[in-house]
Amino acid sequence: MLRLFLTLLVVLSAVLAQTTGTATLVGTITDNTGATVPGATLNIVNVETQFVHKGQTGPEGNYYIPNLNPGTYRLTVEASGFKRHVHEGLILRTSEQPRIDIQLEVGAVTESVNVSGTAPLLETETTSTGQILEGDTIVKIPVLQKYAFRIMLYLPSTSNINGQHVVGQRERAIGYTIDGVGGKEPVRSMIGSTNQVTSTTIDALEEVKLFTTGMPAEFGHSAGGLLSTVFKSGTNSFHGSAEDRYINKVLIHRTYLEQLPRNNPFTYHELSGTASGPVYIPKVYDGRNKTFWLFGYQRHHEKGGETATLAVPSPEMLAGNFNFGGLNPIYDPATTTFGPSSQCAAGVSECWTRQPFANNQIPRNRFDPAVVNFLGRNPYTPENNTDRAFNAASGPTNNLISPTNYRSYRTRFDAKIDQQFSSNHKMFGRYSQVRHRSWRDRYSPEIAWQEYDWRAVPIPIDQRNVVLSDTITFSPTMINEARLGYNRRRGTVFPSTLNQGWAGQLGIPNVSGATFPNFQACNNQSTCTDGTTFFRQDNSGLSASQEVGEDFTFQDNITKIVKRHTLKFGYETIRTRYNSLVPSLPSGSYRFGGTDFPFRPNTGVQFAAFLLGSVSNAQYTQAVTTWLPRWWSHALYFQDDFKILRNVTLNLGLRWSYETPFSTKYGLQSQFDPMSPIRSPDEWEPSPIPRALWLRRI
């Protein structure tokens, strides 16, 4: 037996059978005296597809039939000297293991006893706990933006405070599988983000189950619970569905304190459709009872925005006039000196001082040429709300009323094929693709020059999830399931301003032209330890980035029944690789300050420092390469469900997981060695990666 175990483990390279979402049927066959009936044959047939699964009772009269897709079944039991027993309307659900004990009646096998009824709701064979939502229920409830992972919020033991959590565990620890293959973004593995999880067409889901506690050893990647989704299969009848969940703008009421009209365009659709049936080509191929197809489509189509009250530079500010009702005098950074002065604080003989600009007005000839070139392109939206504006230390506030602008289009495609070669051999394959197209955020109404608007940069994201599963029943007591999986996510941010030489066009000499220069205001003008970009632009600027993650998965699970023992053992390996290009600003990020009186609060205006080109500090970053880690993950498990008594089952399991240290694609990784001698720059080795390969995809 040990040799058989090792041979199968090495040759078949064996995992997680029930993570595909299949059900298992168990029970004991007895006669009318209570004695067990060994050698009885069992046929269980899916009434919609006619897929057949076979089993046989062992010496103890027990049977075990795994890998049953959720659905309605007919169970037939036959044994010599007994009437045929037919159990109709048996409904099996995702990852459940119901017990159906049957008592046979003495008689001829040509006679039959028909019983109708579903499986018991109480699962007594395992210690795992969880909750199931069937597909018929899922399509009827409002699921936010119809994301599959948000179904979890309808299930017990979950919370949605600072992320989604199961039984109080961290969000990242939640497992998420689609037909047994991981659906979370490789590496980062978050489940709460709309574009980090492969969210399929939820109308095509057969069932969703959330496991909370007591999971057997065959389950991995689920320290904080496991959300298992299972796709429907086609049947012998053609089926289809279509739906549009639409929100009409005229039905949206303004909030209680909202006074401005909503003039922004608004469209919201959640479109979905499914179609399924047998593969049937007249006079060529009749796939009824053996070959089935399913197709799902879903689209999130959103155009939205809100009316916003914002701040933009006034015409006076753009002309250098910073008279805001006597607020914040501005000083000339070119006059900074240190020495004795009457402006020093009491008791201080020497200090840093600056001379104020007359009338808080910066002469036009003091404007920096690069800033003049920038403002000549009219980057800011003109103010339109001067009547309701009020002055702050940095300038007029609430002097612009404008609708925001947001677009989000997320399209999902799913296709599945099921094939029954025989009652002992079945396969299925599924392909899912998600296409996200949106901007980084709502357009900044303050920015009239769209190329300069960081929030208007497209962030295309593409996801793919593929699975191929093969199940073979070698004998009534030995079953094998092998599975291949592929999960990929690619997200890019490539602004249109890349490599356009904008620094040179604006007149900033001797810097790279790879990115648009990032202009920021010093939050503290004296120290300038932090900054924010003028008028709502983000701090990261118009930089490029890319993230590509991939998981290649192989799993195999073997079930062997030996008398009162149901033995499961399996192996899983995952090859993970990642491609990360971090954002950088080789053309510079410039922080402007110096129009305050040194170390005196309530002085200076950041935008005045910008007009003067008074750079307090500048930072240049360069992505010299992409981060390309890759590693292997391995897992082995052994599970023994030992039936000590007819009504007592002992679940024993052991799981071993190992993740190898990562290495990079070109060996570009370093570590600190305090014993290593210091080498001069002349001894440094050149990078093995040509510059053209920096953006190369994996």
CATH code where residue 107 lies:
2.60.40.1120
Those residues whose C-beta lies under 8 Å from the C-beta of residue 245, and which sit 6 or more positions away, are: 142, 146, 269, 270
HEC readout, 118-132? CCCCCCCCCCCEEEE
| CA atoms 347, 350, 352, 356: torsion sign | positive
Amino acid at 390: F
Tens-place pLDDT, residues 266-319 = 899 999 999 999 999 999 999 999 999 999 999 999 998 888 888 899 999 999
Please identify which residue in the block is written with the tokens 């197209």. Answer: 437
Among 619, 636, 671, identify where a domain stops.
Answer: 619
Q: Pick out the chain residues at pLDDT < 50.
A: 1-19, 687-698
Q: Is residue 289 classed exposed, middle or buried when 0-12, 13-18 and 19+ CB atoms within 10 A define those classes?
A: middle
Locate the DSSP E strands across 341-424.
Answer: 350-356, 390-392, 395-397, 400-403, 406-422
Q: What is the DSSP letter of 377?
A: T
The number of domains in the chain is: 2
Tens-place pLDDT, residues 526-543 = 566 655 666 665 666 889
Amino acid at 65: I
Largest CA distance in the chain: 118
Count how many Cα atoms sit within 13 Å of the Cα of residue 517 in the half-sphere of its side chain: 25
- Rounded to the nearest angstrom, the gap between the alpha carbon of residue 136 and the centroid of all alpha carbons in its chain is 25
**So what's the pLDDT on residue 696?**
37
Residues in the chain: 698
Beta strand 565-581 with 84-92 is unpaired
Q: What is the DSSP letter of 325?
A: T
DSSP letter string over 133-160? EEHHHHTTS--GGG-GGGGGGGSTTEE-
Residue 514 forms part of a structural domain: no
Run of H or E residues at 363:
none
Beta strand 129-134 with 205-213 is antiparallel
**So what's the pLDDT on residue 488?**
96
Among 62, 88, 116, identify where a domain stops.
Answer: 116
- CA gap 195, 249 in Å, rounded: 26
**So what's the pLDDT on residue 490?**
95
Residue 361 forms part of a structural domain: yes
Among 59, 91, 116, identify where a domain stops.
Answer: 116
- CA gap 93, 69 in Å, rounded: 8
Picking from 53, 230, 14, 270, the residue whose alpha carbon sits closest to that of residue 144 is 270
Picking from 430, 435, 432, the residue whose alpha carbon sits closest to that of residue 411 is 435
| CA atoms 14, 19, 23, 27: torsion sign | positive
Residue 569 forms part of a structural domain: no
Residue 104 forms part of a structural domain: yes
Please identify which residue in the block is written with the tokens 């020059």. Answer: 449
Beta bridge partners of 575: 552, 632
**So what's the pLDDT on residue 443?**
84
Residue 682 forms part of a structural domain: no
**So what's the pLDDT on residue 296?**
96
**So what's the pLDDT on residue 533?**
61
Domain that holds residue 104: 12-116
Please identify which residue in the block is written with the tokens 């991939």. Answer: 550
